[in-house]
Amino acid sequence: MPFSFLQTSKIGSLGRTRAASLSLDTHAHVLPGLDNGPETLKDSVALLREMSKSGVRKVVATPHIMGDFYRNSVESICYARELVEAELYAQNIPVELDVAAEYYLDVSFVAALETNALLLPFNEQYLIFETSVVSMPPFLWEAIALIKALGLRPILTHPERYCYLQQDFARVLELRREGVLFQVSLVSLGSHHQPTRLLAERLVLEGLATFVGSNIHNKQEWKLVTEVLDGKWHKILKEQKLVSE
């Protein structure tokens, strides 16, 4: 499956294999000052440097767009990307940076879909959205239909975090039948919150995860991602065709 690639690399003269690492991260909060990711350009570059050291070659930055809380736009996101790219080039950090947005499903997002407002999908076809953690929005199905009517493919990000899916797996299958793709967060596979971790595992093991992304916001979370990939998940993700060597 596209875009969710992992790789292994060799270290030392004995050719030992170190932990698998994402070569392409499809969901990361790495742009400065836009959401709950890095606050400064320096922090952003430091995080991307750590990701590069772990084998990441491309990152899709996915800042939140959430009503009045995260009032980001296509213009502000692209401007932040330009600032970071300039520093990556200046410091010779070999990471390609792409951008998308993580849209919160509320009335303003539905209105943007209805009016065909300027949106920021990635790869020009996948639109990432999230919902309330607690309850299923009453206009979820309407939003999905609107996304598809625009010729885009809806991606529900970190579905494992939503209580209404943790409590009713039939809803997961219904969403999938409606053409919704799932993007599982690697941090969830190491979560101490059991319902989140168990649903993330089930989505991967049953082949329902189309994408994996780190969903990181800082270097501490990146460390958790590398710990997850040190374990059993490299083999499992590879078997699910979410890995490439």
Domain that holds residue 192: 6-239
Low-confidence ranges of the chain (pLDDT < 70): 1-21, 238, 241, 243-245
User: How large is the angle between the packed helices 107-114 and 140-149, nearest 10 degrees?
Assistant: 30
CB atoms within 10 A of CB 82: 10
Number of domains in the chain: 1
What distance in Å separates the CA atoms of residue 227 and residue 230, rounded to the nearest whole number?
A: 5
Question: Does 171 reside within a domain?
Answer: yes
Does the pTM of the predicted model rise above 0.75? yes
Reading the block at residue 230, the tokens are: 């040190």
Question: Does 20 reside within a domain?
Answer: yes
Question: Does 35 reside within a domain?
Answer: yes
Give the pLDDT confidence of 105-138 residue by residue, as tens digits: 999 999 999 998 999 999 999 999 999 999 999 9
Question: Does 244 reside within a domain?
Answer: no
Question: Does 245 reside within a domain?
Answer: no
- What CATH number is given to the structural domain containing 174? 3.20.20.140
Question: Does 1 reside within a domain?
Answer: no
Cα dihedral 147, 150, 153, 157 in deg (nearest 10) = -40
In contact, 213 and 28? CB cutoff 8 Å: yes
Question: Does 228 reside within a domain?
Answer: yes
Report pLDDT for 21. Answer: 59
Question: Does 226 reside within a domain?
Answer: yes
Report pLDDT for 96. Answer: 96
The angle at the Cα of 97, spanning 208 to 55, to the nearest 5 degrees, equals 70
